[in-house]
Structure 1
Amino acid sequence: MNLKPALLIKSTALLADTYFADAVILLAEFNEKGALGFVINRSFERTLNQLEEFKDILPFPIYEGGPVDQEHLYFLHQRPDLIEEGVAVDNGIYYMGGNFKQAVEAINNRTITTADLKLFVGYCGWNTGELEAEIKEGSWIVEEGMPEEVFMNW
């Protein structure tokens, strides 16, 4: 299967003793520079309202998106009618670059739920050829990603 955005990669037993043990990652970007994705099945220990900057909003789950840049929040969503400026991934999934202020407002006024938005601390990244090599060695299984799987509560 050719790699492209919106595919899921699932770790195999070869990664059992690593950060990626039992990880399911949505590839959000794949191009000549490499790949970027988010672990969609690993909850972060805090919710959005437990972060100082967002202490006055409603609780909303955060996922541990990956080991890279865990100082920032990222998000995937499927509501471009509520969140402008998002970059299309594929299959009706949008990600980074969307208006985060609009996302927070939609969470706080309950017009968006976990069925349409997923927040992440950090992301996963691979340089050119790295992910392909890991797949070839058997570290990852590649599958089509569907919005209902991406946005389900793991």
Structure 2
Amino acid sequence: MSNSMNISPQPGYLLISEPFLQDENFVRSVILVCENNENGSFGLVLNKLSILKLNELIDDIETLDNDVYVGGPVEQNTLHFIYQGERLFDSSISLGEEIWWGGEFDLLLNLMKQSKLDHNKIRFFIGYSGWSVGQLDQELEENTWIVCKNMDSESIFSSSPEELWRNILKNMGGEYQQLANYPIDPRLN
């Protein structure tokens, strides 16, 4: 299979795990790249739901029972967020396709409490996925990841976690459509 390994993932690109990846942290995962520079790489797994709700992690927000996703195995004591739409905070970083990473967390919570934001356009993550300098490039050379440059922000926020990996591969077309239907355990086929 030809991989897009010559593409250095930019913020806003997606990393889709190849079907044979057995690392339990990343099986059938879709990672949104937030940073990729001389210091390493940072991303958030978009399709791994945690067992926690937002109001279980933060005091005084009983009404906010948003799902929380596992952004990755690194620093699972940290909380991150992305949102879709217009830029809300000066400190938010554009990831393209009207998707923003981070910003003033307290202001975000206040907007949510006042029902001024569509809760379906916000995702929260505990932890993140990180790579040291050169590590992601090495994994790309080993065909661990398929790079998707053309993110569909609607499918990120509307697809179920179970379907996101498959949906993105199908949308990529060609040989990737075939991978979308590959069984998790080919021995069971």
Same fold (TM over 0.5): yes
Query: Which residues of structure 1 form unaligned runs of 5+?
Result: none
Query: Contact 2:61–2:113 at 8 Å: present in 1 too?
Result: no
- Residue aligning to 1:113: 118
- Alpha-carbon RMSD: 1.9
Flag as ranges the 4+ runs of structure 1 deviating above 3 A: 79-84
- Residue aligning to 1:86: 92
Residues 85-127 of structure 1, C-alpha deviation per residue, up to 9 Å, x if partnerless?
212222322112x010111122222222343211000000001
Matched residue SS, 2:82? strand
Structure number having the greater strand percentage: 1
TM-score normalised by L of structure 1? 0.88
Matched residue SS, 1:134? helix
Q: Say if 2:130 is the partner of 1:139.
A: no
RCO higher in 1 or 2 (8 Å CA, sep ≥ 6)?
1
Higher alpha-carbon deviation: 50-59 or 62-71: 50-59
Q: Rg: which structure is higher?
A: 2
Counting matched residue pairs gives 153
One-letter amino acid of the counterpart of residue 109, structure 1? Q
Q: Say if 2:50 is the partner of 1:44.
A: yes
Structure number having the greater helix percentage: 2
One-letter amino acid of the counterpart of residue 61, structure 1? D
TM-score normalised by L of structure 2? 0.73
1:10 is aligned, of 12, 16, 19, to 16
Matched residue SS, 1:106? helix
Find the aligned partners of 2:98 and 2:50 in 1 and give their Cα distance.
25
Query: Contact 2:29–2:45 at 8 Å: present in 1 too?
Result: yes
- Residue aligning to 2:164: none
- Residue aligning to 2:178: none
After TM superposition, give the deviation of residue 54 of structure 1 in Å. Answer: 4.4
- Residue aligning to 2:36: 30
- Residue aligning to 1:20: 26
Higher alpha-carbon deviation: 3-12 or 111-120: 111-120
Matched residue SS, 1:6? coil
Matched residue SS, 2:110? helix
Find the aligned partners of 1:125 and 1:20 in 2 and give their Cα distance.
12
